[in-house]
């Protein structure tokens, strides 16, 4: 009998797993999403390093319309005053098959949904209860439908509700006392940047990143600002007080539509207590965005799990957790370190950081250990 898999959550991790199953196996599967449609929030940009692009290419990502993506080769580091510090060539990790890629999140979701939308995706589904039945799991949804499956894969994000049905140990993500503000730019305004590169500006208690997301000259702007609480009604004054006080020339950028959200990351990495239940993507661990690896790790975790299920590995639960834990710790350490180093408020510390940064970006051994380990997987 064919094994049946229920995937809970149609974000990047759930959709990637669904595509891998659909194209490379004959398992039965269904993707259950709580919303009534897919979140195709137009502007939000996403960076995919080679570790995730090489996996996406197994499901034909290389055939995506090249006008809708960009392949930046360099990160330019700036002070908040727009003075260049140094640059880092990320294109050196590219191969003919897999290149560092930036794009709109909506473009990635559109691509991932294509093969599975009609047959394998059900909307408006929230779990109401679960029961173990003859070695399988019976999932009951709150619209009174149910599904009897061999595996449950929770891909329902950092605040995974699926966890609460299977795990006694609770671990809530913690607010990182930081806020993300983002917008889409149609021009580089008065900034002295190369629009083909990723530009990273570091200021006191904040950093911001600008990068191209397609070949239509659109740029994604995201600014991470440290603040003790998130007050969506006061974002304009927060920007004024933090960013514009350090460099008023950014003011022009904020004429566009601003979106903001509080930054959380997972506090503990806990294993699944049930061998038939797996957590992928942010439901396994949510990272700070300072290494741009959240989506990448969602894709990687889906791929690792897919291989174990496909090979019918009897120890899949342990193997998956052990490998993912190791990988997560590496990414987490680097994301947390960047979060710390990008935001120094003391000018002495900023000068010391910039001195080391200039030195380190030219050291091949450092770059291949700090980024190569992440990008090569
Ligand atoms: C400011 C910022 C910038 C970022 N930039 C990058 C970047 O440049 N590169 C990068 O790689 N990553 C980036 N990330 C991270 C990345 O977006 C996430 O890590 C990634 O989207 C996680 O995917 P996911 O599928 O695990 O979860 P999600 O995207 O959260 O998807 C979860 C899905 O499950 C659904 N769901 C939730 N609860 C239930 C339920 N109970 N039942 C059914 N369905 C449910 C949700 O509606 C959603 O569709 C960034 C994050 C932030 C905050």
Higher pLDDT, 197 or 39: 197
Tokens of 328: 């997560």
Task: Read off the pLDDT of residues 67-82 as tens digits, 9 standing for 90 and up.
Answer: 999 999 999 999 999 9
Q: Indicate the average pLDDT of the chain.
A: 95
Mean pLDDT (whole number) for 124-142 = 96
Task: Read off the pLDDT of residues 252-303 as tens digits, 9 standing for 90 and up.
Answer: 998 878 999 999 999 999 999 999 999 999 999 999 999 999 999 999 999 9
CA distance 62 to 98: 8
Query: Between helices 105-113 and 12-24, what is the axis angle to 10°?
Result: 30
Residue to mutate, 265, 282, 335, ligand 1, most ligand atoms under 8 Å from C-beta: 282
Could you tell me the distance, in angstroms and rounded to a whole number, from the CA of residue 262 to the centre of ligand 1? 14
Q: Which residues contact 278 (CB under 8 A, 6 or more apart)?
A: 151, 152, 153, 154, 272, 305, 316, 317, 320
Mean pLDDT (whole number) for 189-195 = 95
The predicted structure's pLDDT at residue 170: 83
The predicted structure's pLDDT at residue 182: 93
The predicted structure's pLDDT at residue 207: 98
> Read out DSSP for 51-68?
HHHHHHGGGTGGGS-GGG
The yes-or-no verdict on residue 190 having pLDDT over 80 is: yes
Q: Which of 228, 250, 265, 280 is nearest to 339 (CA)?
A: 265
The yes-or-no verdict on residue 65 having pLDDT over 70 is: yes
Cβ atoms of residues 190 and 46 within 8 Å: no
Neighbours of 25 (CB within 10 A): 15
The yes-or-no verdict on residue 142 having pLDDT over 80 is: yes
Task: Read off the pLDDT of residues 213-264 as tens digits, 9 standing for 90 and up.
Answer: 999 999 999 999 999 999 999 999 999 999 999 999 999 998 878 999 999 9
The yes-or-no verdict on residue 169 having pLDDT over 90 is: no
Residue to mutate, 6, 7, 8, 9, ligand 1, most ligand atoms under 8 Å from C-beta: 9
Mean pLDDT (whole number) for 34-38 = 95
Could you tell me the distance, in angstroms and rounded to a whole number, from the CA of residue 344 to the centre of ligand 1? 28
Could you tell me the distance, in angstroms and rounded to a whole number, from the CA of residue 214 to the centre of ligand 1? 21
User: Residue 298 forms beta bridges with which residues?
Assistant: none
Q: Provide residues with CB under 6 Å of ligand 1.
A: 8-14, 32-35, 39, 46-47, 125-126, 155-157, 161, 180, 222, 263, 281-283, 289, 292-296, 298
Residue showing tokens 């194209």: 23
Please state the pTM of the whole predicted model. 0.96
Could you tell me the distance, in angstroms and rounded to a whole number, from the CA of residue 282 to the centre of ligand 1? 6
Task: Read off the pLDDT of residues 150-159 as tens digits, 9 standing for 90 and up.
Answer: 999 999 999 9
- Helix (H) / strand (E) element for 318: namely helix 316-341
Return the residue whose CA atom lies nearest to atom 50 of ligand 1.
289
The predicted structure's pLDDT at residue 43: 66
Residue to mutate, 295, 299, 332, ligand 1, most ligand atoms under 8 Å from C-beta: 295
Task: Read off the pLDDT of residues 320-349 as tens digits, 9 standing for 90 and up.
Answer: 999 999 999 999 999 999 999 999 999 999
Which runs of E-coded beta strand occur in the chain?
4-8, 28-32, 45-48, 69-70, 74-79, 84-89, 101-104, 121-122, 127-133, 136-141, 146-149, 151-154, 174-185, 198-203, 206-212, 219-226, 259-265, 277-279
Distances (CA, A) of 21 to 4, 7, 57, 78: 11, 11, 14, 43
Return the residue whose CA atom lies nearest to atom 13 of ligand 1.
294
The predicted structure's pLDDT at residue 377: 65
Distances (CA, A) of 358 to 216, 299, 334, 344, 350: 32, 32, 18, 16, 12
Tokens of 254: 């904020």
Q: Which of 122, 142, 140 is nearest to 7 (CA)?
A: 122
Residue showing tokens 């600008």: 210
The yes-or-no verdict on residue 165 having pLDDT over 90 is: yes
Task: Give the position, in ligand 1's atom list, of the atom nearest the Cα of 46.
Answer: 8
Could you tell me the distance, in angstroms and rounded to a whole number, from the CA of residue 286 to the centre of ligand 1? 9
CA distance 59 to 55: 7
Mean pLDDT (whole number) for 150-170 = 95
Task: Give the position, in ligand 1's atom list, of the atom nearest the Cα of 35.
Answer: 47
């Amino acid at each position: 009998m064919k094994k049946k898999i229920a995937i809970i959550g149609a974000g990047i991790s759930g959709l990637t797993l669904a595509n891998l199953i659909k194209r490379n196996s004959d398992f039965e599967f269904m993707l259950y999403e709580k919303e009534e449609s897919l979140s195709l929030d137009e502007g939000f940009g996403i960076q995919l390093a080679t570790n995730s692009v090489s996996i996406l290419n197994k499901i034909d990502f290389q055939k995506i319309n090249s006008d809708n993506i960009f392949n930046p080769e360099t990160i330019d580091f700036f002070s908040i005053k727009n003075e260049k510090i140094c640059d880092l060539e990320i294109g050196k990790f590219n191969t003919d098959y897999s290149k560092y890629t930036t794009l709109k999140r909506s473009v990635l979701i559109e691509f991932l949904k294509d093969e599975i939308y009609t047959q394998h995706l059900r909307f408006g589904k929230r779990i109401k209860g679960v029961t173990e039945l003859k070695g399988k799991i019976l999932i009951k949804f709150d619209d009174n439908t149910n599904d009897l499956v061999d595996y449950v894969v929770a891909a329902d994000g950092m605040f995974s509700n699926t966890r609460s049905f299977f795990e006694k140990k609770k671990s809530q993500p913690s607010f990182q006392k930081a806020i993300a503000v983002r917008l889409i730019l149609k021009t580089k305004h008065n900034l002295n940047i190369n629009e083909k590169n990723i530009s990273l500006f570091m200021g006191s208690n904040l950093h911001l990143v600008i990068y191209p997301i397609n070949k239509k000259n659109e740029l994604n702007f995201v600014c991470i600002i440290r603040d003790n609480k998130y007050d969506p009604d006061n974002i304009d004054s927060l920007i004024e007080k933090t960013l514009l006080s350090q460099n008023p020339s950014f003011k022009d950028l904020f004429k566009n539509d601003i979106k903001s959200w509080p930054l959380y990351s997972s506090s503990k990495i806990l294993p699944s207590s049930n061998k038939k239940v797996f957590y992928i993507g942010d439901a396994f661990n949510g990272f700070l965005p300072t290494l741009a690896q959240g989506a990448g790790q969602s894709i990687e975790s889906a791929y690792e799990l897919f291989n174990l299920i496909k090979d019918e590995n009897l120890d899949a639960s342990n193997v998956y957790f052990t490998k993912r834990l190791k990988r997560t710790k590496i990414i987490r350490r680097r994301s947390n370190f960047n979060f710390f180093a990008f935001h120094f408020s003391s000018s002495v510390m900023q000068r010391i950081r910039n001195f080391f940064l200039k030195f380190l970006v030219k050291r091949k051994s450092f770059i291949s250990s700090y980024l190569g380990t992440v990008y090569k997987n």
